[in-house]
Amino acid sequence: MAMHVSSIACFSVFSCNTRVHRIRAVASEDFAALKTADENKVKLGGSDLKVTRLGIGAWSWGDTTYWNNFEWDDKKMKAAKAAFDISIDRGITFFDTAEVYGSRQFSMGAINSETLLGRFIKERKLKDPEVEVAVATKFAALPWRFGRQSVLSALKDSLCRLGLSSVELYQLHWPGIWGNEGYIDGLGDAVEQGLVKAVGVSNYSEKRLRDAYERLKKRGIPLASNQVNYSLIYRAPEENGIKATCDELGITLIAYSPIAQGVLTGKYTPENPPDGPRGRIYTPEFLTKLQPLINRIREIGENYSKTSTQVVLNWLIAQENVVPIPGAKNAEQAEEFTGALGWSLSSEEITELRSLASEIKPVIGFPVEKL
Ligand SMILES: NC(=O)c1ccc[n+]([C@@H]2O[C@H](COP(=O)([O-])OP(=O)(O)OC[C@H]3O[C@@H](n4cnc5c(N)ncnc54)[C@H](OP(=O)(O)O)[C@@H]3O)[C@@H](O)[C@H]2O)c1
């Protein structure tokens, strides 16, 4: 059955006055610092929006093009829902999705990530009406989409799939090939129409970031975030001016692929590389060169009774003004992320890890960030 809802059908659902859900943070043993919802949160750039210090990425939910061995089934859906629920239980309430994640139609079992996230929120809300979830989604700057109206129209379709009347953060997923002024104006319109609380960009270069910031500033709207690939082994934002510009302008850097698509957890080795598309990026040769860093991450973690995953996420948070959004496929993965919070690596360890990582040639990133 086709799941994609037309704009008109979408709009009728969108205008059905659903409201944004709210949740109380729950303190966990592992994350004792999270006592109240507010202590757990940071402001996103110059906006009024507060999100948890770490979010959960939902790219893999419903996806059959890159993740999940090209198959989606009920078992995977239950695991994704469990990842969502445990995150909420542990006080992580910020979720990142996109209109292009998963499939817009039920094809080969695939389903749209926004649709799934919307369902999880709705089901949770039945049990806990006060639940509060901060949703970030993204506009795909496809070549045939022009101008500010295309942003509003895509946003309304996203809200429809999510079953929400507004989202906390709306981001331009990548820069447009014909220019970005219209898209930026569309973001501003979305704020003014109350459809989003804050706006951001993704994969934007320093120049594009500055232009977007200035254009929104003229309307009194802060550019809240730039979502870019950033991890211990992909430190391009430190080298291409993105991190420094975010810090200078008060824009939060949202770090995607923060655990290098699972590779920094230490579970993949030259003998056991990831399969599927990741296997072409993280080859046995690359993983061989990575081993000294992986070993040191593990050793450091042992001193704190932390896992490698928690160490590399903590390293990113230590860079300040960074909110990592690791992707979780199941409850165990999501639960492990919460242990990245509430403690700190020493400055010597932070420097040592950067220095060890700089001996590894980074993999190729998303080419649009260099546009
Ligand atoms: N704006 C953009 O252009 C862009 C691009 C990419 C991603 N993103 C966003 O960033 C989010 C995260 O990035 P990502 O999904 O590319 O990579 P990631 O967060 O670095 O890695 C996620 C993958 O690592 C593995 N994993 C997760 N937790 C683990 C744990 N505790 N132990 C062992 N393995 C674990 C899982 O895959 P396996 O279990 O299969 O190993 C999972 O799918 C996405 O979901 C999306 O929201 C945005």
pLDDT score, position 13: 35
3-class DSSP string for the chain: CCCCCCHHHHHHHHCCCCCCCECCCCCCCCCCCCCCCCCCEEECCCCCCEEECCCEECCCCCCCCCCHHHCCCHHHHHHHHHHHHHHHHCCCCEEECCCCCEEEEEECCEEEHHHHHHHHHHHHHHHCCCCECEEEEEECCCCCCCHHHHHHHHHHHHHHHHCCCCEEEEEECCCCCCCCHHHHHHHHHHHHCCCEEEEEEECCCHHHHHHHHHHHHCCCCCEEEEEEECECCECHHHHCCHHHHHHHHCCEEEEECCCHHHHHHCCCECCECCCCCHHHHCCHHHHHHHHHHHHHHHHHHHHHCCCHHHHHHHHHHHCCCEEECCECCCHHHHHHHHCCCCCCCCHHHHHHHHHHHCCCCCCCCCHHHHC
**Residue 249 reports pLDDT greater than 50:** yes
- Stretch among 8-22, 135-149, 215-229 having the lowest mean pLDDT: 8-22
Per-residue confidence (pLDDT) for residue 301, from 0 to 100: 98
Q: Ligand 1: residues within 6 Å at CB?
A: 57-60, 96, 173, 202-203, 227, 256-262, 265, 267, 309, 325-329, 333, 336, 366
CATH number at residue 101: 3.20.20.100
Question: What number of CA atoms fall less than 13 Å from residue 251's CA on the CB side?
Answer: 33
Domain assignment present for residue 63? The answer is yes
Confidence of residue 344 (pLDDT cuts 50, 70, 90): very high
In a domain, 2, yes or no: no
Whether pLDDT at 84 is above 50 = yes
Within a domain: 299: no
- Nearest atom in ligand 1 to 268's CA: 41
Ligand 1 centroid–CA 227 distance in Å is 14
pLDDT for residue 363: 82
Give catalytic residue positions.
Answer: 101
**For residues 208 and 9, which has the higher predicted lDDT (pLDDT)?**
208
Give the mean pLDDT of 103-127. Answer: 87
pLDDT in tens, 257-280: 999 999 999 999 999 999 999 999
Residue pLDDT, tens place only, 291-315: 999 999 999 999 999 999 999 999 9
Q: Is pLDDT at 9 greater than 80 in this prediction?
A: no
Instruction: Check pLDDT > 80 for residue 335.
Output: yes
- Identify the pLDDT of residue 105: 62
Ligand 1 pocket: which of 51, 202, 329, 341 to mutate (most atoms <8 Å of CB)? Answer: 329
Whether pLDDT at 289 is above 70: yes
Query: Confidence class of residue 229 from pLDDT cuts 50, 70 and 90?
Result: very high
Q: What is the pLDDT of residue 278?
A: 94
Write out pLDDT tens, residues 14-62.
Answer: 333 333 333 333 334 444 444 456 768 999 999 999 999 999 999 999 9
Ligand 1 geometric centre to CA of 132 (Å): 23
| Domain limits for position 154 | 7-263+320-345
- Looking at the domain assignment, is residue 356 inside a domain? no
pLDDT exceeds cutoff 50 at 364? yes
Q: Does the pTM exceed 0.85? A: yes
Query: 71 pLDDT exceeds 60?
Result: yes
Indicate the number of domains in the chain: 1
Nearest residue (CA) to ligand 1, atom 15: 327
Q: What share of the chain has pLDDT > 70, as a percent? A: 87
Whether residue 337 lies inside any domain: the answer is yes
Average pLDDT over residues 110-131: 95
Task: Among 261, 275, 281, name the best residue to mutate to test ligand 1's pocket (greatest count of ligand atoms within 8 A of Cβ).
Answer: 261
Q: pLDDT of 164-195, one tens digit each?
A: 999 999 999 999 999 999 999 999 999 999 99
Q: Which atom of ligand 1 is nearest to 329's Cα?
A: 43
Percent of the chain with pLDDT over 90: 82
Domain membership flag for residue 215: yes
| Residue 355 falls inside a structural domain | no
* Residue 297 falls inside a structural domain: no
